[in-house]
Amino acid sequence: MLRNLENRLDKALLKYHEAEHIRKTYEQIKEKLQDEHLTYEHSLDSLEKQIKATQVEVSELQRMYNDAIVARDTAQQELKFQEEHTTNERRRREIELANMKRIAEGKKLAVDRSDYQQGRESLSSANVPSGSVQGDSIGTGERISGTGGISITEEQQMKISKYEESFKTIKEVTGLSDLDQIVKRFESQGETLRNLNELKDKAEEQCQKLQNANHLLIQCKTGVDHKLSFLNMHITKGIEHFHKDGEEKDEEVVDEQNILDNSDIPEMLKICNNKLDELMSSLNDFYTKLDSKLPENNIRIQFPKVKNEGNPDDDDGGADDNEVLTRAALKKQAQQIVEMRNKKRQTRKKKRRVR
């Protein structure tokens, strides 16, 4: 019976030390996660503020872009209207010019006919041969002069037609008839084109900057999410491993495992702490029961406590040293228990021999 109790005591001690070590390790993990939780909240808040500011700027640029599109459409509609107007004016002026040309040709033919009739009348009215000769010379001179007048009129008409074509082309482009208005229209259209090009370049530059900033923010957010998911996965695995090692596999453990899967990290750590407290309380109850059952002449040996050495400020190194020293202490305690058992057996054999 005593041997069974000692075996149970040894197993309980091993479980106790292992549970104590695991509890310290997860307390350190909990503190580290709480510190990182504070920093992550600030970093996420700053990123959210930057994203909101970027969204506001994007909306402003989108509004400017929409205004530019509306101005462009308005200018295109106005240009289309002016083109239609100039086309109609050109057709109307071509018709008027053709009518004026026909009228001018008709008048010119009428003048030529009247001159020709006057020359014939002057020739027929002369009775003297010399007079006829003079009349012939005069008629010839008049015809020559008439011919010379016709050639001058054609040259002037050609120049006038060239000037009219040039001015008509300018009118078709501008849709105006006054020279000052045409010049002002060209100047205003050139200035409008320059302003629209400047606005377009600025909007494209701002859109490119915002796209780059948005891409950078998405990369930062992806990195933070990946790191958080990585930490969450490792913590969940560690807590599940602790539950598998520290508890027996029964129906209650399965129910608690479902709770762990559906809860968040603080709830999981809280459940682990509760389980450790229950284990410590059950171990203390076992000690009290064992002390009450032991006889008076049975003296328990107090094992020396192993103190952690090293730099207390170094959290990572302290965890590793604590683990190594705890295992060494457990081995030493197990060796001492074996030696005690051997001594007890030897004393019992000696007593039997003496008897």
Residue pointed to by tokens 């939780």:
37
Q: How far apart are CA 216 and CA 224, in angstroms?
A: 13
Reported as a pLDDT band with limits 50, 70 and 90, residue 229 is: confident
Reported as a single tens digit per residue, the pLDDT across 338-352 is 677 667 666 666 666
Residue 253, pLDDT > 50, answer no
Q: How far apart are CA 248 and CA 260, in angstroms?
A: 16
DSSP 197-232: HHHHHHHHHHHHHHHHHHHHHHHHHHHHHHHHHHHH
Assess contact for 23 and 189: CB atoms under 8 A: no
Burial 106-123 (b: 16+ CB within 10 A, else e): eeeeeeeeebeeebeeee
Give 195's Cβ-side CA count (13 Å radius).
Answer: 10
Contacts of 30 (CB under 8 A, 6+ apart): 269
Residue 306, pLDDT > 80, answer no
Residue 132, pLDDT > 50, answer no
* Higher per-residue pLDDT: 309 or 30: 30
Residue 184, pLDDT > 60, answer yes
Residue pointed to by tokens 């020279």:
179
Q: Is 263 left (phi over 0), alpha (psi -120 to 50) or beta?
A: beta
Reported as a pLDDT band with limits 50, 70 and 90, residue 273 is: confident
Q: What is the mean pLDDT of residues 159-168?
A: 76
Q: What is the mean pLDDT of residues 114-137?
A: 56
Q: What is the mean pLDDT of residues 43-72?
A: 89
* Higher per-residue pLDDT: 209 or 171: 209
Q: How far apart are CA 155 and CA 301, in angstroms?
A: 140
Residue 119, pLDDT > 70, answer no
